[in-house]
Every structure is written in C-alpha cells, then in structure tokens.
Amino acid sequence: MEHPEASNDELHFNNRIPLDELKGAVDGIKTQLGKIIIGQHDFIELLIVSLLARGHVLIEGVPGIAKTITAKLFAKTLHTDFSRIQFTPDLMPSDVLGTSVLNMKTSEFEFKKGPIFSNVVLIDEINRAPAKTQAALFEVMEERQITMDGHQYNMEYPFMVLATQNPVEQEGTYALPEAQLDRFLFKIKVGYPSLTDEVTILKTHHDRKFDLPQEQIEAVITPETLKKFRSQVQEVLIEEKIFNYIAQVVDKTRNHPHLYLGGSPRASLAIMNASKAFAAMSGRDFVTPDDVKRSLAPVLRHRIILSPEREMEGMTPETVIDMIAQSVEIPR
C-alpha cells in the first residue's frame, strides 16, 4: 500500500512546482555540450547545479582535459554575454574591474568597465595572479557589485564566475586565500577521460575537421527563464530533519581530529542550495538525504584544511568528508 501513497504524494509535489520545463532545459544543456564534450558528466552536472543555485565554480585539473572549453561552451548554452580573463602574475585589479579615465572633452573622469562586467566570466588560472588582484574579486563574487571611487556598480543578471586552476604546476602561483575559496559554491575536480571516452574524443575531432566547437552549440536558456528556474529551486521543500543533517555534517568538520579548519555557515548554506538544485533537476520539489550527500564533496573539499600530520600521510579532504558522512546518521 505504500507505493500508491508515494505516487500520490509525488503527483501532489509535481503539481506544486511544475519542474518539467526546468528538467527539459537541463537536458537541453547536456545535449548541447554532449555534441563536443565527451564524458565529464559529473563536471557538466555540477556546472548546471551551480547555475541554478546562483553559485560560482572553481575548476581544478591538469592541462588538456577540456576545463576551459567546457566552461566556454557551457556559457554558450545561455543567452548571455561571456568574457574570459587570463590571470597572470603582472595582472592588476584595474585590469579586471576597470579604471577611471579622464575624458578630455568634459574634463571629468569616466569609469571604463573591465572584463569582469559580463554575465559568465571565465578566469583562467586564477592562482597565477597575486593576492591584490585576487582580492579584487571578493566583493563582486559575494555581492555582485563593485565599488570604485565611491561609486557602486552592479553586475547585470545573471553573474557567474568560472575559475580554473592547475594543481600540478605550482611554480609562480599564489594559493587562493580561504576567504576567496569560501566564495566558490563548488570546487570541481576534473580527471582524465576513460580509455573508451578518449577513443571517442579522437574520432569526434577527426570527424569535425576544422569546424569550431562553438559554432555547433545553441543557446538553451534566457536570463528570464533562468530567473524563473532559480525561483522554483528556492521553493523546493526541506524538512527539519534535513536541516539538522546538513548542520551536523558541517559541525563535525569543525571538531574533527583530522582537520585544522572546518566549514563555515556559508558551507551549510551552499550544501542546502546545491541540494535544492539537485532535487529540482531530478524532478522533485523536496530534498532527500541523497541530494545532500551529492553536494558534500564539491561544497566542502575546498573549505576544509587537513591537519599537517594527515596531509603528510597523504590523506585527502574527500576521505575525511566521506568519514564524516558515514558517521552522521542519515534521516529517515
């Protein structure tokens, strides 16, 4: 008798928030990216979750595994502007945010907007720029505005930062400060493709000849539609026991013997928002413990710091996150 009741509840939930259009758009983005990007399903799914949850993304992986091209093509699936900033050691904050220039006709200073004034901003090798330039991103990532010469300039809707970094080549790089890392909803680790996927990559490149990948991607979502989808995600239900589950997991990161630094309340909010997006993408308007579990690693891996002893032993943040997830009772 439980199954009919469950299906009735599901019908009730589906009627409360119509998620068919959202699911269709998500499938549309995956289809468009699937024309060019082989494999990397988790990477693409986490990008879409971040978009729905109003989050920024840090993408980490070795060179040549399609981090940058995936981010560029993802931006192409949206009817929005896109800009790319290559971070280098000599990059200044004004090169990112913009600067005041004297207008000779009016004899007044005018603010010339920098490349950060776009909708989807790809920052390549974010850890190549010094702390001063990285700090220029603090306000714009958190508040979606910048303050220059006493004036406030707001970003156009939507605004999303996709930043890449290479974990191997550390010469000439500057580690991102914790306050900067905390502003990214997810840190996505991108690995090598499987052998089967690599064969497919070779074939598709051979078949495509010299056609540009960008020309094969069509826009799927407009800013107006995205605004509607995001408001639907915010309406997704979370029960009290799920709130407690999220809070318990994050609290354990603050008291864990293997960790030097745990997650902040911003981490709890990130898990909650990501869980809502996962639920909506699955066609549900209520969050399950599985949605929370899927959010834990990408939300927490860049927010926790291992104790020096555990780091020397080769332990990873993901190992500790998994230990914590297993130690907290899953709500029924």
pLDDT of 127-148, one tens digit each? 999 888 988 899 999 999 998 8
304 vs 278: CA distance, rounded Å: 22
Looking at the whole model, is its pTM more than 0.85? yes
- Residue 49's CB is within 10 A of a number of other CB atoms, namely 27
Reference 56, options 170, 153, 147, 155; nearest CA is: 155
Contact call for residues 184 and 56 (beta carbons, < 8 A): yes
Q: What is the mean pLDDT of residues 34-52?
A: 92
- 195 pLDDT more than 80: yes
The answer, yes or no, to whether residue 75 has pLDDT greater than 50, is yes
Tell me, what CATH number does 267's domain have? 1.10.8.80
In sequence order, what are the beta bridge partners of 108? 103
- Say if 101 falls within a structural domain: no
Residue 44: give the domain boundaries. 18-90+119-199+221-234
**Residue 121 burial (CB count, 10 A):** 26
Three-state DSSP class for residue 305: strand
Instruction: Give the residue from 191, 210, 234 where a domain finishes.
Output: 234
Residue 171 has pLDDT above 80, yes or no: no
42 in a structural domain? yes
Read off the CATH number of the domain in which 131 is found: 3.40.50.300
Residue 97 lies in a domain: no
Mean pLDDT (whole number) for 184-205: 91
Per-residue pLDDT band at 166 (split at 50, 70, 90):
confident
pLDDT digits (tens, 9 = 90+) for 314-331: 899 999 999 999 999 998
CB proximity list for 6: less than 8 A, separation 6 or greater: none
Q: Give the list of residues 6+ apart from residue 172 with CB closer than 8 angstroms, or none.
A: 89, 128
Indicate whether 49 and 138 sit together in one domain. Answer: yes
Per residue in 221-256, pLDDT (tens digit) is: 999 999 999 999 999 999 999 999 999 999 999 999
Number of domains within the chain: 2
Same domain, 188 and 73: yes
Per residue in 86-125, pLDDT (tens digit) is 999 999 999 999 998 888 888 788 889 999 999 999 999 9
State the Cα–Cα distance between residues 23 and 29, nearest whole angstrom. 10
| Alpha-carbon span 285 to 234, nearest angstrom | 10
| Mean pLDDT for the chain overall | 89
Q: Is 218 exposed, middle or buried (0-12, 13-18, 19+ CB in 10 A)?
A: exposed
Residues 178, 76, single domain; the answer is yes
Residue 263 in this model has a pLDDT that exceeds 90: yes
- 245 with 319, same domain? yes
Say how far apart CA 267 and CA 259 lie, in whole Å. 15
Same structural domain for residues 321 and 267?
A: yes
By percentage, how much of the chain surpasses pLDDT 90? 65
Write down which residue in 185, 213, 234 finishes a domain: 234
